[in-house]
Every structure is written in C-alpha cells, then in structure tokens.
Amino acid sequence: MPGFELIGIEEKKAISKLFDDGGVLFAHGFNKQRKNFHVREFEEELNLKFKTKYSLPVSNGTSAIKIALKSLGVKPKDEVITQSFNFIATVEAIVDIGAVPIICSVDETLNIDIKDLRKKITKKTKAIIPVHMLGASCNMSEILKISKKNKIPILEDNCEAVGGKYKSKFLGTLGDIGVMSFDFAKIITTGEGGAILTNKKNLYTFCKEYHDHGHQNNPKFPRGNDTSKIAGFNFRITELQGVIGKVQLKKLNFILSENKKRYEVLNKNLSDFFKIRKIEKNSTQNYETFIIIEDDSKIRKKILNILSKNDFGTRNLPDAIKWHCAYFWKRAVGKKGVKNSLSTNKLLKTCIAIPIWLSKDLKDYQKLSDLISNLKKY
C-alpha cells in the first residue's frame, strides 16, 4: 500500500510542532531559532532502519539517481546499463548526465535478465542500475558477481521495494550505492522525496556536497564562509519533508506486515490457477503488488473488469505501461533501446498487477480472489 493511505494525525501533529518550534527553516544553521534538525534526524533514522553507514535524504528519487551516478564518476558518453521494465526516471537520470542508457531485457522475475546483462557489458560500461520493480528484488548475488568480475559499480534503484530484503539485507544497501523514493505513490511518502544510501564514505561525501551547492558544511566556519571543492546543485529536501519522513518511517514495519497478509490471501487462492510473477529466492518483498501473468487476452479482460468493478484498479500494469517499459521511450533510449525492450513489452502486456491497499481488508482480498479464480474453475 502506498504511504498516502496511512498519512494523517501523527504527521499533522509533527508538522504543527515544527511551526511551534520556530517555523520552516532548512537543513542547516539557525541554531538559536530551532529545536531540531529534522532532515539530519531523518538521515540518522534511515541509517538505523536500513543498517547502512550513510544516508542522504534528497529532493526526490529521480535526483537521487542522478546524484548517485555522478558520485560514481559517470560522465557524458559513458554507458549505463539498466532494465527495460522500469520507471522512466532511471533513464532520465542517465540521459540528463549525457550518458548513454543501455537497455537490458527482464526475465520471468520481471527484473533484469542476468544473461542479457552479461551480453550488454562493454568497455564503456561505467555503472549498472538494477531496479527492484514493484516490491521484488533482482538477482543480487549474480549482479554483485558480475560487478566484481568486471569492476563496474552497482547503483540499486530501490524506489519501489523499500523495506524489501535480499538475504537478510535491506534492498538498496547491497550495491555500491542505492536510492529510494518517497513520492506520493511509494510505500512510505513525504509527498515528494528520496534518499541515497551507501556504506562508502567517499560516495556519501560527494553526494552530500553535490546536492547542496558544493557546501562541505565545514564545522570550523559559518555557512556563509563555508569551504567547497566541487561545483554542485540544489537537490536538498525540506525540513517539512524531514518531519514527515521520520513519522512515516516508524510506520514501515506495520505497513509491511499488513501488506504481507493481504498478499498471502491472493497468493494462496490464485497461484494454483494462474501463473504468477517469479520471486527471486532468498528475497523478501515489500508485498505492495501481486502480479498475475495470463496469456489469454479474454481472461485478462475479465480480470481487469473485476478489478475495476470492485474498486481495486491496477498498479502500472497495464494502466501505466507506457511509463514503465522502455519500449515506449524512443525519445530517451533510441531505436536500439526500443528493440532491446521488444520481448519485455510482449511479456508485460500479459501481466496484471493487483495493488495491495490498506483500505481493503482480508475479506475484500478473499472475495477478489474468489471472483478471479472462478474464471478458471468453471
């Protein structure tokens, strides 16, 4: 379920306190006018929650990818490999740097196809971005092996699987650097927002400086006389978002367990009748989506009718496929990228992603499962 379903009284109270405590400042300075540094506290809590050395909340997930790519030293004309089932943001971040997105197909996990990934590596490859789509992990052990063998860094796009794990580690913390999104549709939300996670101090330092006009926040000097080494930009997150992020993060465990209960009703009742998305072994989803793969277009149409009539809708597949498959992004990935996404488009056309909503209870999911499984029973 997206965080917007569970945003309300606690967040409102925390925001109200922010105003009582001195108003909407920004992440630095004004020590006398304020009681808290909310963005810095959010950063600390992200570290604790996801067991990572460094976190940096930033303005959104897309900028997080761009900043992370820059921290890895990706330059114009370098190649960056990512997957065909994706959100366009990943490719936009690559293109915005002037680098070349190389599109890799997906397998039945709907995430990056390892065999194709091996084929796409060239001397120009400067980074690989596996994307844990719709709550489920990529094959991280193979990806990390490929990274080590070829000495190419891994940037995990974990915008859609916050809270998910691979071999007991949180997704977004297995590669060299990882990113999260807290936009309105993600599992926890600050309206807009994102974060970068890493265990590497040099990457963290670059990201911290770059996202804040190059500021080093040198404790020896006031900010007006701060030191700097690199030219940066402004991708800072606001204190308002920091306040909300801290509250939302506390709700993550609850959301994960509620998601799982609903997901399991669907899984138990539908997996005997339908082909469902393959989940990577040794991984734990954040259970925000359940995906059916159905070749028969008539049956697909019937499922979509049921979902619409009962007010469940779908999550990106098929309703927003044009924003989630590189086949439709010639403007950004070129002819070659479109060609590399042909098989993915064919596969995704057969997928129906059922969203997990908090506003629907287990009985609603049972009823939904019955309606859908009946299509195959009789």
Ligand X SMILES: *Cc1c(COP(=O)(O)O)cnc(C)c1O
Kindly list the residues in this chain that would bind ligand X in the complex (CB under 6 A). 60-62, 86-87, 89-90, 131, 157, 159-160, 181, 183, 194
Q: How far is the CB of 18 from ligand X (least distance, A)?
A: 22
Q: How far is the CB of 220 from ligand X (least distance, A)?
A: 34
Which one, 147 or 158, has the nearer CB to ligand X?
158
Distance, CA of 267 to CA of 146 (rounded, Å): 32
End-to-end CA distance of the chain: 31
Helices and strands in the chain: count of H runs, count of E runs: 12, 13
For residue 259, give the 3-state DSSP assignment.
helix
Q: How far is the CB of 160 from ligand X (least distance, A)?
A: 4
For ligand X, the nearest residue by Cβ is 61
Phi and psi at 224, nearest 5°, equal -65, -20
CB 241 within 8 A of CB 191: yes
Which one, 221 or 323, has the nearer CB to ligand X?
323
Cα dist. 217→67, 148, 232 in Å? 18, 34, 13
Q: Crossing angle of helices 9-20/239-270, nearest 10°?
A: 170
Q: How far is the CB of 186 from ligand X (least distance, A)?
A: 6
Which one, 87 or 365, has the nearer CB to ligand X?
87
Which one, 60 or 289, has the nearer CB to ligand X?
60
Q: How far is the CB of 40 from ligand X (least distance, A)?
A: 20
Q: Report residue 16 as tokens.
A: 């109200």
Which one, 140 or 303, has the nearer CB to ligand X?
140
Q: How far is the CB of 164 from ligand X (least distance, A)?
A: 13
294-302 — which CB contacts under 8 Å span 24+ positions? 294/350, 294/352, 295/350, 299/375, 299/376, 300/350, 300/352, 302/375
Which one, 94 or 270, has the nearer CB to ligand X?
94
